[in-house]
Structure 1
Amino acid sequence: MFAIPLGTGDGERAELRPLEPWQAEEFFAHMERGREFIGRHIGLPDVNRTVEEARAYLTAYAEKQAADSGRIFGIWADGTLVGGVLFRLFDAAQGTCEVGCWLERDAIGRGLVTRAAGVIIDWAVEERGIQRVEWVAGARNEPSIRTAQRLGMRRDGVLRQANLYRGERHDLEVWSILAPEWRELRAASS
């Protein structure tokens, strides 16, 4: 298995690794720790209420990876799974993908998601030829929107009341970055 360092500069050991079905117990324990915080904006904890559900969720992503239609990665800080990033949708033929993320409360403010998302976006653009990377966030999910901004994305628009979450309708913001914009941003930061 590979691990990509997500150095924070403060001595913390952080890395990005594939998240696979055999890690269901660790993933479930992570969901238990972060259930309330993570669930404020996304339904990930709602579909991972047991180890069996966690295994099924990770298996579904393993199948997506096998079909080249999605992937999931965990973020480990000092050896503990604290969050992750994923390609919720991945369509190499169309040259588009959607990136998503989640993080436990204790891991916020360190830039872990921004760096991890940057790694997978760079791979999608440079290795797979993706031309458009999307980021969809609830309009009230300010941390996710700030991450999209830090990644150099532009707000494409708002899908009004597009998401029914826990019995309430929510607006979704769609952000994106195109391959030439991503390359330009990377060149300017090196």
Structure 2
Amino acid sequence: MYAVPLADDAELTPLEPWQAVEFFEHMERARGNTDPWIPWATRSTDLESARATLQGYADRQAADTGRIFGIRLGGTLVGGVMFVHFDAATGVCEIGAWTEKDGEGRGLISAAVRRLIDYALVERGLHKVEWWNSSGNARSRAVAQRMGMHHDGTMREHVLHNGVRQDYEVWSVLAREWRAGEGAQPG
């Protein structure tokens, strides 16, 4: 297995179906941060559904259409990032992230998102990275802003989640902006 350092005591690692027990335990700890905003998190409610979530991302990885990674702090899974969608043919992908309380306030999400943006735009040569968030999720919006993304627009009542229609903001950074230093480049 490989790991990408994010900080002295933190790293980014792949999440795979065989890690379903650890992933489910982490999701239980993260529910307060994830359930209001992330539809797949509300569906990862037992070991079987957690395994299905990871298997879905393993299938996407095999098809080069998505991936999921864990953020580990001192060896413990405390959050993650993913390519929700990854379309090499059109040159567009979407990145998402989540964390539990123990992973907050350390810059780990920002460091991991920077790695994914750099991978997509520089290494893989995609044209644009998108970030979608519920308008009510100020922490998610702040990540997009820290990455130097531009607010492309808000889709009114776009997602029905937990019985409530939520407005969704779309943010993006283009490859030329990222390379020119307009986005938040890795340091």
SS in 1 for 2:38: coil
Per-residue CA shift, 1:68-88, capped at 9, x if unaligned? 100000000011101100000
Inter-partner Cα distance in structure 2 for 1:103 and 1:84: 6
- Give the AA of the match of 2:150: R
Offset at residue 44 of structure 1 (A): 3.2
Inter-partner Cα distance in structure 2 for 1:22 and 1:64: 16
Offset at residue 115 of structure 1 (A): 0.5
How is 1:13-92 mapped onto 2 (pairs within 5 angstroms)?
13-92=9-88
CA contact (8 A) 1:38 1:44 kept: no
Offset at residue 45 of structure 1 (A): 2.6
1:158 counterpart (154, 162, 173): 154
TM-score (norm 1): 0.94
Q: How many residues align?
A: 186
2:67 matched to 1:102? Answer: no
CA separation of 1:187 and 1:121: change in aligned 2, threshold 3 A: closer
Per-residue CA shift, 1:152-189, capped at 9, x if unaligned? 10000000000101111110000000001111227977
Structure 1 partner of 2:5:
5
Structure 1 partner of 2:123:
127
Following TM superposition, the consecutive aligned residue runs of length 4 or more in structure 1 with deviations greater than 3 angstroms are: 186-190
- Give the AA of the match of 1:81: L
Aligned-CA RMSD value? 1.5
CA separation of 1:102 and 1:187: change in aligned 2, threshold 3 A: closer
- Give the AA of the match of 2:39: G
- Give the AA of the match of 2:154: V
SS in 2 for 1:152: coil
CA separation of 1:160 and 1:78: change in aligned 2, threshold 3 A: same
SS in 2 for 1:40: coil
Offset at residue 107 of structure 1 (A): 1.4
Per-residue CA shift, 1:69-117, capped at 9, x if unaligned? 0000000001110110000000001000000000102211111111001
2:140 matched to 1:144? Answer: yes
TM-score (norm 2): 0.95
Q: Percent same amino acid at aligned positions? A: 52
CA separation of 1:50 and 1:157: change in aligned 2, threshold 3 A: same
